[in-house]
Structure 1
Amino acid sequence: MIVTTTNSIEGKQIEQYLGLVSGEVILGANVVRDFLASITDIIGGRSGTYESKLAEGREMAVQEMVKKARNMGANAVIGVDLDFETLRDGMMMCIATGTAVKLKE
């Protein structure tokens, strides 16, 4: 399945717009990771543990969105947007949204 942030796909014609699809994931952080990330923040540098958690959340949210699009009969998702939010108690949320479409074969 084609998944893109653009509103069209070069060389492809959209046959039908099927509607909005989204995938939401809430991930928890743990005390050890938070402690190590705070040390990284103090001394500078990148927090690899949080970066990998963000990547994991993004991938899971996109996979959930694609699954919903397939169930609608789509073969592509266009206009994809990713949002990340920090929730209370070290929780974070990743949301992937887009428009499910059927492309001409």
Structure 2
Amino acid sequence: MAKCDICGTKVHFLDTRCTDCMEKRNQEILAKRNKPDESEARQEAEQATLDLTVTTAQSIENQRVTKTIDIVTAECVFGMNIFRDLFAGMSDFFGGRNKSSQKVLRDARVTCLNELRKEAVAIGGNAVIAVDLDYSEFSGGGKSMLFLVASGTAVVIEPLESVVE
């Protein structure tokens, strides 16, 4: 006769665990499956951060600033590769829009604003107001870099209470 690996009770010679221990283990596995893991919680927190209000205005409609926290900034540098530079030169010569350069600008803006949101959340804000975006280009030696700085004021906002007449 064999013994259970966990509690030591007698089990069938082909089994390694008794019925009670197997049932307990199955319940632990089910509880783990039903419990959200850390990665899900992290994804929810990241989504909440991305939903944070960011505006160039000094205020947000139907919201009241209850606390001004601090200035937040985010800096992003993007490289323009040789092919983008080549196509940009062709667009300059022939005219028209340069989609590859527009994509770099869009990606830089989205990335920088998301970084700004993360900075605000890290210091306790739930919105960023008075956002300013400054674009610059560094070039030389056959290399071209796009530099974007986003700055704003991290604040805590809450909805205005409706006035009952």
Structure of higher RCO (CA pairs closer than 8 Å, 6+ residues apart): 1
- Counterpart pick for 1:11 among 62, 77, 101: 62
Please report the TM-score for the alignment, with normalisation by the length of structure 2.
0.62
2:125 corresponding residue in structure 1: 74
1:44 corresponding residue in structure 2: 95
2:10 corresponding residue in structure 1: none
Percent pairwise identity: 35
User: Unaligned 5+ residue runs, structure 1?
Assistant: none
Which structure's CA Rg is the greater one? 2
- TM-fit CA distance, 1:40: 1.0
2:113 corresponding residue in structure 1: 62
- Counterpart pick for 2:85 among 24, 30, 34: 34
- Report the RMSD for the aligned CA atoms in angstroms: 0.9
- Counterpart pick for 1:95 among 114, 131, 149: 149
User: Unaligned 5+ residue runs, structure 2?
Assistant: 1-51, 160-165
- TM-fit CA distance, 1:95: 1.0
Runs of 4+ displaced beyond 6 Å: none
CA distance in 2, matches of 1:90, 1:102: 38
